[in-house]
């Protein structure tokens, strides 16, 4: 096990640790410990590629493990061509030259980021995590980081509740403002922590499969769920609603009638939990109050009420599509207008010029940018690889179940979580069960 593989492991496991960001956005990408390590890995691989005489590494984009993601990327290019024709990359009465960064450079960066995620966290994982020793090392490092952030985050929350003068761990190492009496650990903001907690459940379950043990006990799960609730994340609430919808669409048809009843009952309990969380949390209740009057406020030009005023970057793209539908224009909703156009829409409604104002809610971003078709392709790209692995049906269903919750959280708030989970899932299953190598 060489140093480069270990560096890759740390670069992946530290990716969700947004506390460790130390530099502002560079073309929309933060630089921190994880990204720095990723640059080291990429530089070393390029150097090895050069000294080996530019030996070609064969990677098929039509491999069953990631072909649907590349279908999604191809479709997103089509969406962009439609968006250019539709005028979605330009601001009214403003030349493209004046908005070059927002209309040209940033959208191109969006495409690069989306390709990078699947290449680094999924495709490269199959080359770097290619034996049992390095996979053991990955699970060890991930577990230590995850539990450290969980325990310290909960202890930090207890201190904030009991010590008035204590403001808690900052969002980032640079010493930015705190988050109030909410769980976040070292995952950045509470909404980032919510996604990370679901990722942790998925990876720790995979670890149990890999090790043939049951370390993810009910007590540990309860602790993780308590941390989720204590994030008081509106994005997390929406993420759970999206997860319920995904379970109905992609999981319910795959299970027996008896299990369908159990799943429906579980979803009802989950939705009841969502309602209770909203009603018992002042912060989430404030969001609910804002939503209750949102349509009236927007139509009548009244000041937006409640905490929802802080999330207008998620509201304006939805409003824009609704206005198009009211005018019987359904094409942008179906096909999207290209990656980066939701930011352009926000610039129009917020009367900004040349600023990156992406929606935080990834479901809004995807529906606006790549439409319903592109969003369905994106979901399929994370479920299809699990279906193609030749493992027993019960294990496959459990992995799909976890992936759908991670995807729900991902649609609530953009994250690298589903890519990271898919990458380690593929290498762990393929190395644990060698006969599971992809069904075509």
Please report whether residue 128 resides in a domain. yes
Token pair 């949102």: residue: 294
Q: How many CA atoms lie within 13 A of 356 on its CB side?
A: 16
Token pair 């070609």: residue: 56
pLDDT for 52: 76
pLDDT for 177: 65
Smallest CA-to-CA distance from 428 within 200, 203, 141 is with 203
Please report whether residue 4 resides in a domain. no
Please report whether residue 313 resides in a domain. yes
Please report whether residue 34 resides in a domain. no
Which DSSP string do the residues of 174-208 spell out, in sequence order? T------SS--TTSSSHHHHHHHHHHHHHHHHHHH
Please report whether residue 19 resides in a domain. no
Report the distance separating Cα 3 and Cα 128, nearest Å.
11
CA-based max dimension of the chain? 66
Angle between helices 362-388 and 417-432 (to 10 degrees): 10
User: What three-state secondary structure class fits 87?
Assistant: coil
**In this predicted model, what pLDDT tens digit does every residue of 50-72 receive, in sequence order?**
887 666 677 888 899 999 999 99
Structural domain of 251: 64-436
Structural domain total, the chain: 1
Please report whether residue 18 resides in a domain. no
pLDDT for 99: 78
Q: State pTM to two decimals.
A: 0.92
Please report whether residue 305 resides in a domain. yes
pLDDT for 105: 87
DSSP bridge pairs for 32: 21
Smallest CA-to-CA distance from 357 within 135, 102, 169 is with 102
In the chain, which stretches have pLDDT less than 70? 1, 23-30, 53-56, 175-178, 281-293, 295-296, 299-307, 309, 435-440
Please report whether residue 33 resides in a domain. no
**In this predicted model, what pLDDT tens digit does every residue of 146-169 receive, in sequence order?**
999 999 999 999 999 888 888 888
Q: Which secondary-structure segment (H or E) carries 129?
A: none
Report the distance separating Cα 385 and Cα 69, nearest Å.
10
């Amino acid at each position: 096990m060489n140093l480069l593989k270990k560096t890759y492991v740390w670069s992946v496991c530290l990716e969700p640790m947004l506390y460790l960001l130390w530099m502002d956005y560079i073309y929309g990408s933060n630089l921190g410990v994880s990204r720095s390590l990723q640059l080291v890995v990429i530089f070393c691989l390029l150097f090895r590629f050069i000294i080996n005489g530019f030996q070609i590494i064969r990677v098929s984009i039509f491999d069953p493990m990631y072909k649907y993601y590349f279908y999604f990327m191809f479709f997103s290019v089509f969406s962009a061509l439609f968006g250019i024709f539709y005028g979605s990359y330009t601001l009214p009465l403003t030349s493209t030259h004046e908005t070059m960064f927002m209309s040209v450079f940033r959208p191109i960066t969006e495409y690069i980021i989306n390709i990078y995620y699947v290449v680094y966290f999924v495709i490269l994982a199959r080359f770097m995590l290619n034996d049992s020793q390095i996979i053991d090392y990955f699970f060890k490092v991930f577990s230590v980081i995850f539990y450290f952030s969980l325990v310290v985050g909960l202890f930090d929350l207890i201190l904030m509740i009991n010590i008035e003068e204590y403001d808690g761990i900052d969002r980032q190492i640079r010493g930015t403002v705190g988050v109030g009496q909410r769980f976040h650990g070292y995952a950045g903001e509470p909404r980032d922590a919510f996604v990370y907690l679901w990722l942790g459940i998925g990876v720790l379950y995979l670890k149990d499969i890999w090790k043939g043990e049951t370390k993810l006990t009910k007590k540990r799960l309860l602790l993780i769920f308590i941390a989720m609730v204590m994030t008081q994340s509106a994005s997390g609430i929406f993420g759970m609603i999206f997860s319920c919808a995904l379970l109905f669409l992609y999981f319910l048809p795959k299970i027996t009638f008896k299990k369908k009843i159990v799943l429906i009952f579980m979803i009802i309990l989950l939705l009841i939990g969502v309602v209770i969380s909203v009603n018992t949390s002042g912060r989430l209740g404030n969001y609910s109050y804002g939503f209750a009057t949102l349509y009236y406020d927007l139509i009548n030009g009244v000041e937006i009420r409640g905490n929802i005023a802080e999330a207008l970057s998620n509201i304006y793209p939805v409003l824009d599509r609704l206005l198009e539908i009211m005018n019987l224009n359904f094409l942008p909703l179906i096909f999207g207008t290209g990656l980066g156009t939701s930011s352009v829409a926000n610039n129009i409604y917020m009367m900004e010029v040349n600023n990156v104002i992406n929606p935080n809610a990834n479901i809004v971003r995807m529906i606006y940018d790549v439409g319903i078709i592109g969003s369905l392709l994106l979901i399929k790209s994370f479920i299809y690889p699990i279906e193609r692995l030749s493992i027993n049906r019960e294990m496959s269903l459990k992995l799909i179940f976890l992936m759908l919750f991670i995807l729900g959280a991902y649609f609530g708030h953009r994250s690298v979580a589903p890519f990271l989970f898919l990458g380690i899932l593929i290498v762990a299953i393929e190395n644990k069960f060698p006969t599971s190598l992809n069904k075509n």
